[in-house]
Amino acid sequence: MNESSIVDSALPISIRGLTKQYGQLYALDTVDLDIKSGEFLTLLGPSGSGKTTLLMAIAGFNRPDAGSIRFGDKEMILTPPHKREVGMVFQSYALFPHMSVAENIAYPLKLRRVNKSERRERVNKALDTVQLSGLGERHIDQLSGGQRQRVALARAFVFEPRILLMDEPLSALDKKLRERMQIELKDLHRQLGVTTVYVTHDQREALTMSDRIAVIDNGQLMQVDAPQVIYNQPSNAFVADFIGESTMIPLKRTGNELFVGDERVSSVPDTPAETDWSLVIRPERLMVEPGTADRDSTLFFNGTVKESVFQGETALLLVVLDDGTEVSVRSSTGTATPGITANPGSQVQLAIFRRDIIVVPTGNSQR
């Protein structure tokens, strides 16, 4: 497949005011989202957050109550699914059991009246791309889970759609295969250059694969940003809590300054709303018994070790701080940076660099 020509034909998606109500419940609450041409965007959220509803609305399988979905500058909201020209990989794969692998992949080409020889050529090329060459004659139930996943993928992109949708395509695979497929999918996306919308509830998967992540909860977008930004600068408590591990410590406000205990954390971030604020601590950013005592760059906590857990590549230390908050500390176990082990009951001093501190608003109860 010619890379540049495919990149040219990728389409941006523009969603405005998309709303879908089930009874009293908003599955989608006036969602505005711009997906750039050729971008890999992940919709990430807990189950029931509306992420699948949004994907199905883009595919045309459910009818929103209001709003607009544009592919490029063409309004698609009333277009039936079979005329939308988007490829989709289903969670269940939805491969046709009465057709062979090759027939499954040829199905969309047949519908587009591609002639037989070109059809065969494109099916073989698609099989090559997903590394299933020579398996075209197999029946679907002769394939492993990973192979089915690849067939579903090949069928979704063989007709060169300009938008590719994926609904938790890796959730049925075991952990090792899933992690390999994440890299392969990312690679394939780079090859095809097609605008991709990916749905998952697995935050690590989202961080691994995406150009940008749209965190969604209760039918509302919580934050749309690149993985590093989502992780390092979550814009609210939900995102901070949902992405990665975190401990949240409520902050006290005095004037325009925020404090934890007697320690000044930061000044109040520039936000109009009157809210409460919390300190978000990532377990891997805490240090145990730091050599430094520089209070300008570092924030210190004292606590008692509750539990020390070995988890293979990392070790986890659960510490109860003097104010009763429980925090976890994660460190790698290799000899380069030996994981901290401490006996339950012993006193420890923890520290975090001020530049690693995250402060998020909590009072406006978005959850």
22 binds other proteins (CB under 8 A): no
Interface pick for other proteins out of 142, 144, 267, 302 (rule CB under 8 A): 142
Strand-pair partners of 70: 14, 75
32-71 residues near other proteins, rule: CB under 8 A? 59, 61
Q: Please calculate the CA angle 48-52-58 and round it to the nearest 5 degrees.
A: 145
Say how many Å lie between the first and final Cα of the chain, rounded.
Answer: 45
In Å, how far from its chain's centre is CA 340? 30
76 binds other proteins (CB under 8 A): no
Interface pick for other proteins out of 86, 222, 315, 352 (rule CB under 8 A): 86
| Beta carbon of residue 3, minimum distance to other proteins (angstroms, whole number) | 24
Strands 163-167 and 195-200: parallel
Query: Which one, 97 or 255, has the nearer CB to other proteins?
Result: 97
| Beta carbon of residue 157, minimum distance to other proteins (angstroms, whole number) | 11
Interface pick for other proteins out of 47, 73, 82, 336 (rule CB under 8 A): 82
Segment interacting with other proteins (CB under 8 A) among 79-87, 198-206, 209-217, 333-341: 79-87
155 binds other proteins (CB under 8 A): yes
Rg (CA), the chain: 24
- The footprint of other proteins on this chain (CB under 8 A) covers a number of residues equal to 29
Report d(CA 297, CA 359) in Å as an integer.
16
140 binds other proteins (CB under 8 A): yes
Segment interacting with other proteins (CB under 8 A) among 133-141, 236-244, 256-264, 311-319: 133-141
112 binds other proteins (CB under 8 A): yes
| Beta carbon of residue 243, minimum distance to other proteins (angstroms, whole number) | 29
157-196 residues near other proteins, rule: CB under 8 A? 159
Report d(CA 254, CA 264) in Å as an integer.
10
Query: Which one, 82 or 355, has the nearer CB to other proteins?
Result: 82
> Who's near 99: CB < 8 A, 6+ residues apart?
107, 140
User: Under DSSP, is residue 195 helix (H, G, I), strand (E, B) or coil?
Assistant: strand
H-type alpha helices, the chain: 3-9, 51-59, 101-111, 116-129, 145-157, 175-192, 203-209, 227-232, 237-242
List of residues contacting other proteins (CB under 8 A): 59, 61, 80-88, 90-92, 94-98, 107-108, 111-112, 139-142, 155, 159
